[in-house]
Amino acid sequence: GSWKKIEDTGKQSGGLELLRKSFRICKNFIDVDVLESWLETAFAYTAMTDYPTPSNFLNPMPAYPVKQMCKAIDDPKSGNDTFAKLYGAASVYYNYSGTATCFNLAYSPDPHGLDMWSWQ
């Protein structure tokens, strides 16, 4: 699946740079585990805030953001590009406003503390 493709790409020569470009990570830090956590955060928080109206509870998001993520994944412009599909879906959470040009993963990809759920 998607995670295996990310992990396999990260192990290849030039793979981390490909991931950095594919997910528009700022030129500072890229790590496969952190990237996966960043994606998990987007998917989990979007599911938790799947409201029928636009919201700004955690990040600015459209009404029914899960549907918007599904549209991004199913977007025919992405073809078979798994990374473009994942990036499009994550952008619903991280960049719905369209103002971010890159994402800094050097800091916690989960500013809200979801990473502690796995500890419980």
pLDDT at 95 over 90: yes
What CATH number does domain 2-108 carry, 3.40.50.720, 1.20.120.980, 1.20.120.10, 3.30.365.10?
Answer: 1.20.120.980
Show Cβ contacts of residue 80 under 8 Å, excluding neighbours closer than 6 positions: none
Distance CA 30, CA 51 (A): 32
pLDDT tens, residue by residue, 36-93: 999 999 999 999 999 999 998 788 999 999 999 999 999 988 889 999 999 999 999 9
pTM value is 0.85
Spans of all domains in the chain: 2-108
For 39, other C-beta atoms within 10 Å of its C-beta total 21
Q: What's at 53, amino acid-wise?
A: T
pLDDT at residue number 109: 52
pLDDT at 113 over 80: no
Mean per-residue pLDDT, 15-26: 95
Distance CA 68, CA 66 (A): 5
- Coil, strand or helix at 25: strand
pLDDT at residue number 47: 94
